[in-house]
Amino acid sequence: MKKTEKLMIKSMDCNFICSSVLRRPFLTFFLIFFCFLCTANASFNLSTISFDEGYTPLFGDGNLVRSPNARSVRILLDRFTGSGFISSKMYKYGFFSANIKLPGDYTAGVCVAFYTSNGDVFEKTHDELDFEFLGNVEGKPWRFQTNLYGNGSTFRGREERYRLWFDPTKEFHRYSILWTPKNIIFFIDEVPIREVVRTEAMSSEYPSKPMSLYATIWDASNWATSGGRYKVNYKYAPFVAEFKDLVLEGCAVDPIEQISAADSCSEIDTRLATADYAVITRKQRLAMRRFRQRFMYYSYCYDTLRYPVAPPECVIDPYEKERFKDTGRLKFGGSHQGNKRRSRRRGRPHNVADSVDQDM
């Protein structure tokens, strides 16, 4: 099983592998799972932009290195600073996407984040949608989490944590966030891995103010890897995350006025709603389900110690629920400890039980 999980699958290889697998009945469920991911894997029709067309450096300028044609950018963490970039505009609804290669070897304590936020403009009532990659000790696979906050709901984390079905340090994979008035979808390559459908009960906890796109690499020693057990070891620096094939689709809106582009927004919103990535096929839905059953190891929706009543957007899947303890963690193995520990990133608490990775 382990070996299969480590298989590197390029979309080019996909059909080949799938067809040969399907010809061999003795191959396992796992391989069939790959085929589900593969068949969901028809490429999106995306128009990519250069770094300068859509983004500006955010911090650690010296550690942000553009390729000569600015079609790709590397952000580095060394013992002096991390680095990051931000979209030059803010968007109300959009599709934010990049092909990303994460730093390899020993990356404990290193966090690479690809997220949307408006925390710089709305300090107390910010919205946020996150991919956060939590480094790991050499030889152990990267883990990551997705999260969302609406209108400053930092008291209510909505984290899910997962493993990956490939090694994200070996090749580029596409990570995307779709945010529409109706739903939010996180994608890896063309596989939707999480969908949050807006419900009335979510009210303002559904992100609904303009957000910027951020990409950062930073030292999260006290939090990222096994709840802070493993720190960044700068002997292995610099840690380099590379971003290319950047996509920013959405209506650019002034965050304060919010009215500026109303006319053109409806056109862009329609385009977003009808884009190929916004229309989830049956195959993609199956792939999502399988991904979640196989690779998700924590979900706030099943963490009944934290939320005796699951937040309103949670769709309780009986099969998924069966796999989790009351702590939202997988049932097998591990202890439950230290879930009061918190750490901060730019002032906001990460209130997922930090020990969650120690169990794995």
Largest CA distance in the chain: 61
CB of 271 to ligand NAG, least distance (A): 8
Within 13 Å of residue 229, how many CA atoms lie on the same side as its CB? Answer: 12
**Bridge partners for 162 per DSSP:** 144, 296
Choose between 43 and 293: whose C-beta lies nearer to ligand NAG: 43
- CB-nearer residue toward ligand NAG: 56 or 125: 125
Q: Is 320 part of the annotated catalytic residue set?
A: no
Q: In this structure, what DSSP letter does residue 211 have?
A: B
Catalytic hit among 132, 159, 190, 242: 132
- In whole angstroms, the minimum distance from the beta carbon of 227 to ligand NAG comes to 30
Among 45, 69, 274, 335, binds ligand NAG (CB under 6 A): 45
- Which residue of the set 123, 128, 138, 257 is catalytic? 128
Q: How far is the CB of 125 from ligand NAG (least distance, A)?
A: 4
C-alpha count within 13 angstroms, C-beta hemisphere, residue 64: 19
Question: What DSSP letter does each residue of 303-345 carry, written as one string?
Answer: ETTT-SS--TT----HHHHHHB-TEEEBSSS-----TT---EE
Tell me how far, at minimum, the Cβ of 194 lies from ligand NAG, in Å: 23
Q: Residues in contact with ligand NAG, total (CB under 6 A)? A: 6
Nearer to ligand NAG, 271 or 345 (CB): 271
Q: Is 313 a catalytic residue?
A: no
Cα→Cα distances 216→116, 226, 231, Å: 11, 20, 18
End-to-end CA distance of the chain: 16
For residue 240, the tally of other CB atoms under 10 A from its CB is 19
2 C-beta neighbours (distance < 10 Å), count? 7
Q: Is 274 in the site for ligand NAG (CB under 6 A)?
A: no
Tell me which residues in 296-355 interact with ligand NAG (CB under 6 A). Answer: none
Tokens representing 87? 């979209």
Beta bridge partners of 128: 117, 149
Which SS3 state, helix, strand or coil, does residue 21 take? helix
Any contact of residue 151 with ligand NAG (CB under 6 A)?
yes
Contact flag: residue 15 with ligand NAG (CB under 6 A): no
348: Cβ contacts below 8 Å, ≥ 6 apart = 119, 154
Closer by beta carbon to ligand NAG, 204 or else 264: 204
Residue with smallest beta-carbon separation from ligand NAG: 204
Burial class (CB within 10 angstroms; exposed 0-12, middle 13-18, buried 19+) of 43: exposed
We find the least distance from the C-beta atom of residue 314 to ligand NAG, in angstroms, to be: 20
Give the residue among 55, 1, 36 at the shortest CA–CA distance from 244.
55
Interaction pattern, residues 117-136, with ligand NAG; x per rule: CB under 6 A? --------x-----------
Among 67, 204, 260, 264, binds ligand NAG (CB under 6 A): 204
Shortest gap between Cβ of 153 and ligand NAG (angstroms)?
Answer: 9
Per DSSP, what are the bridge partners of residue 344?
A: 349
The reply to whether 47 sits near ligand NAG by the rule CB under 6 A is yes
Of 103 and 152, CB closest to ligand NAG: 152
Of the pair 271, 323, the CB lying nearest ligand NAG is at 271
Segment 174-193, which members bind ligand NAG (CB under 6 A)?
none
Q: What are the residues binding ligand NAG (CB under 6 A)?
A: 45, 47, 125, 151-152, 204
Kindly list the catalytic residues: 128, 132
